[in-house]
């Protein structure tokens, strides 16, 4: 596979992922961003933890969808993320995000 074919494949995968996101975003209540992933979910709980002087975040989500084009299944019943980086949680309103239809 050439570099150009690989780039085209990844662009098609990204477009497919965006279309799936556009189709499912309205069924979720929260957007969660971590340093590694972007999630949609219906329940989220973030706890700051301290261990040996280090602070990290434990993020628990239920009924989640994961933005990751390499995952064969993007829906997950429960997700737990541990991270030392920032976590952003936003509550979605039905009028907050109306992605363009293609």
| Three-class DSSP labels, 46-76 | EEEEEECCEEEEEEEEEEEEECCCCCCCCEE
pLDDT in tens, 15-46: 999 999 999 999 999 999 999 999 999 999 99
Does 100 fall in a domain? no
At 87 the three-state DSSP class reads coil
Does 102 fall in a domain? no
Q: Please give the residue range of the domain that contains residue 23.
A: 3-90
> For residue 79, what pLDDT band results from cuts at 50, 70 and 90?
very high
Does 21 fall in a domain? yes
Does 67 fall in a domain? yes
Does 11 fall in a domain? yes
Residue 1 CA, chain-centre distance (Å), reads 29
pTM of the entire structure? 0.81
Does 97 fall in a domain? no
Does 29 fall in a domain? yes
| Counted domains in the chain | 1
Output Rg (C-alpha) for the chain, integer angstroms: 16
């Amino acid at each position: 596979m050439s570099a150009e074919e690989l780039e085209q494949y990844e662009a098609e995968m990204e477009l497919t992922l965006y279309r799936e996101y556009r189709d499912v975003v309205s069924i979720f209540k929260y957007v969660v961003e971590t340093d590694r992933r972007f999630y949609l979910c219906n329940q989220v709980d973030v706890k700051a933890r301290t261990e040996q002087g280090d602070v990290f975040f434990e993020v628990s989500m239920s009924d989640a969808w994961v933005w990751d084009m390499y995952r064969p299944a993007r829906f997950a019943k429960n997700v737990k993320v541990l991270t030392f980086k920032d976590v952003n949680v936003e509550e979605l309103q039905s009028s907050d995000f109306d992605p363009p239809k293609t």
